[in-house]
Amino acid sequence: MSNLIITSNIPNVFPVSQMVKGRTPFKKENGLPVGEGKIQTLMGNHCIGYAVSQAMKANCGGGCVTSAYPITPATEILHYLRALEADGKIPSLGFNASSEHEAMTAAIAASFGGARSFIATSSVGFMHMMEMVESAGQNRIPVVMALSNRANAPLNIWNADDDRIRARDFAIQLVAENHQQAYDLTLQAFRIAETAYWLTIINQAGFFISHSVDKVRTLPDDRVLPFVGQFTPAIDPFKESISKGGLTSPRAFALQRAQNFEAWGKVKDIVKNVHDEYGKISGRAPGAFFNTYYLEDAKYVFFNYGFLSGTLRTFIDILRRDGVPVGLISGTLFRPFPDRELAGAIFTQAPKAKIIGVFDGSLDPTPGVNYTDLSSALYTYGRNFHGPLLINFKYGGGQNPSLSVLNGALQRMMDAAKRNTVEYPIQQLDRNSEGANISLDLSKSAGKEVVEGQSLIEFLGRGGLGAVSAAGNLVYITNEKGELIARGIPQFGSEKTGSPTFATAVMDKQPITSFYNEG
């Protein structure tokens, strides 16, 4: 077989960054807040399932429906809920559909009929139900949806941001950076959806979060149930009747969309109020729209949504010890896009920023949506300022950019800032190691290690489920000792052949707030 030759004009990113020589005083900033709650060891999918089960209990006086058609990597969310429903532990009715289209139709019908409604899906299943997804969004049906983000063609089941991009124009969307946020944001999503009366989606990274294991702090029912509260439908189906889904005239269509425009302008306030209220019961309020890390003196800023933010924090810690002024903006609210708020943060909190590296987890041959959104925000709300340069780094299909790849991306940012121009605005990260990967020698970094007393243990599993079990067992055993905190990370292989796959876990005496796995 001949070697594949890539002739794209998108340059690969590998060179070593130019670090400031000499030791630099390094004071580590706080990461995401740990907060309160009972410590449990959960997969990402089970974090969402656990939160949904609590939301259903909160509506025990009304109807509750969970609608499902299984698809990887979202299936375990519904498995978790079906087990609880079968045992009578939650009051929801589980509807198993014959297709994704039917599953979404049922979720809409349940919500329209006055029930609290939830659905989980991914990738091609999400596209198969898209007709009804847009119907839910544009008709403002308060269904809560969990999306385990996944790539598609050419056939790929691993993580990419394509799912949330497809629904960016008609749904409220939240993006979980890690397992804890998958739990927290799901609880908030029910309040947001049922206050704004809008389809609300919680996004998590397929496999990187959905199937990996982490220590999560869950809140007791006596705190969660009053917070989520009962669902009060806009129309009481037992007292009023209305037809929905029929043909809409041009005049009525424009009027309905005008009402949506007006309501959409209020969503950010709803999201912020729910976030702040949740912070009071959990101790976790990292930012309703986004959170920042080392922005004040940063010349080079990363902007990202999702799982890669943890790796970027670790990368920033390493670089800061060597005197490199880098910072991070990690987004949580994807839609409505916090354009005015982001522009304000960049111009006021990062006044020294020369360039922003925008990460997009999608390998479509177009500028990434995070890149275009941020470009628009800076132009719209920063015309009177000389804003920083922007450069777009794209990855996807299961790629987990390592520190060495991020190091190369930073080099491109530094070079562009020095020239005050970006020669290639859209760049693809690490095209399957098509070139020598440059490694960072962490042992030569000045200052203390990022996480003290850290050790790495590897288990060999058989197939993907073997990897999940190995990681889960390791974290469970570690937690039993009560002294260490652990994060389990499965590495997947072929399920049918049972090929050997690795599961890793990182353990430490302190909370691990950054996700890093070179894999």
> Do 336 and 268 touch, CB atoms closer than 8 A?
yes
Tens of pLDDT along 433-460?
A: 433 333 334 344 333 333 344 455 555 5
> Do 170 and 180 touch, CB atoms closer than 8 A?
no
Report the C-alpha gap between 81 and 151 in whole angstroms.
25
Report the C-alpha gap between 172 and 156 in whole angstroms.
26
Report the C-alpha gap between 101 and 149 in whole angstroms.
18
Report the C-alpha gap between 221 and 48 in whole angstroms.
15
In a domain, 515, yes or no: no
CB neighbour list of residue 515: distance below 8 Å, 6 or more residues apart: 178, 208, 307, 310, 311, 487
User: Of the candidates 189, 184, 149, which has an alpha carbon nearest to the alpha carbon of residue 305?
Assistant: 149
> Do 313 and 514 touch, CB atoms closer than 8 A?
yes
Both 359 and 226 in a single domain? no
**Domain of 387: which CATH number?**
3.40.50.920
CB neighbour list of residue 139: distance below 8 Å, 6 or more residues apart: 108, 244, 245
Both 327 and 409 in a single domain? yes
Is the previous residue joined to 336 through a cis bond, with omega within 30 degrees of 0?
yes
Region for residue 353 given its phi and psi (left: phi exceeds 0; alpha: psi -120 to 50; beta: otherwise): beta
Both 67 and 125 in a single domain? yes
Q: Give the end of a domain, one of 444, 469, 489.
A: 444
Both 142 and 268 in a single domain? yes
In a domain, 504, yes or no: yes
Q: Give the end of a domain, one of 408, 423, 444.
A: 444
Report the C-alpha gap between 323 and 340 in whole angstroms.
31
pTM given for the model: 0.81
Q: Give the end of a domain, one of 263, 282, 301.
A: 282
- Exposed/middle/buried for residue 446 (C-beta within 10 Å: 0-12, 13-18, 19+): middle
CB neighbour list of residue 358: distance below 8 Å, 6 or more residues apart: 303, 304, 368, 370, 371, 374, 390, 391, 392, 393
Q: What is the pLDDT of residue 71?
A: 95
In a domain, 33, yes or no: no
> Do 40 and 475 touch, CB atoms closer than 8 A?
no
Q: What is the DSSP letter of 286?
A: S
CA distances from 23 to 290, 321, 342, 479 (A): 31, 7, 33, 36
- Exposed/middle/buried for residue 280 (C-beta within 10 Å: 0-12, 13-18, 19+): exposed
Both 476 and 460 in a single domain? yes
**Domain of 215: which CATH number?**
3.40.50.970
Q: What is the pLDDT of residue 511?
A: 53
Both 320 and 412 in a single domain? yes
Both 243 and 371 in a single domain? no
Tens of pLDDT along 218-248?
A: 999 999 999 999 999 988 877 777 777 778 9
Report the C-alpha gap between 426 and 195 in whole angstroms.
38
In a domain, 113, yes or no: yes
Distance of CA 10 to the CA centre of its chain: 26
264 three-class SS = helix
Both 102 and 123 in a single domain? yes
pLDDT tens across the length of the chain (519 residues): 333 333 333 333 333 333 333 344 456 667 788 899 999 999 999 999 999 999 999 987 789 999 999 999 999 999 999 999 999 999 999 999 999 999 999 999 999 889 999 999 999 999 999 999 999 999 999 999 999 999 988 889 999 999 999 999 999 999 999 999 999 999 999 999 999 999 999 999 999 999 999 999 999 999 999 999 999 998 887 777 777 777 899 999 999 999 999 999 999 999 999 999 999 999 999 999 999 999 999 999 999 999 999 999 999 999 999 899 999 999 999 999 999 999 999 999 999 999 999 999 999 888 999 999 999 999 999 877 788 999 999 999 999 888 888 998 999 999 999 999 998 899 988 765 433 333 334 344 333 333 344 455 555 555 555 666 666 666 666 555 555 555 555 554 444 334 445 555 656 555 544 443 332
What amino acid is encoded at 137 in this protein?
A: G
Site of tokens 């003196």: 297
Report the C-alpha gap between 172 and 192 in whole angstroms.
9
User: Of the candidates 177, 148, 158, 207, which has an alpha carbon nearest to the alpha carbon of residue 398?
Assistant: 158
In a domain, 29, yes or no: no
> Do 398 and 431 touch, CB atoms closer than 8 A?
no
> Do 211 and 45 touch, CB atoms closer than 8 A?
yes
Both 60 and 95 in a single domain? yes
What amino acid is encoded at 324 in this protein?
A: V
Both 499 and 438 in a single domain? no
Q: Which domain holds residue 459?
A: 455-508
Both 379 and 471 in a single domain? no
Q: What is the pLDDT of residue 236?
A: 81
In a domain, 450, yes or no: no
Q: How many domains does the chain have?
A: 3
In a domain, 516, yes or no: no
Beta-strand (E) ranges in 31-189? Answer: 38-43, 64-68, 93-96, 116-121, 144-149, 172-175
Q: Which three-class secondary structure string do you get for 158-184?
A: CCCCHHHHHCCCCCEEEECCCHHHHHH
Report the C-alpha gap between 13 and 400 in whole angstroms.
14
CA torsion through residues 203, 205, 207, 208, sign? negative
Both 306 and 363 in a single domain? yes
Report the C-alpha gap between 309 and 305 in whole angstroms.
7
- Exposed/middle/buried for residue 206 (C-beta within 10 Å: 0-12, 13-18, 19+): buried
In a domain, 261, yes or no: yes
Q: What is the DSSP letter of 88?
A: T
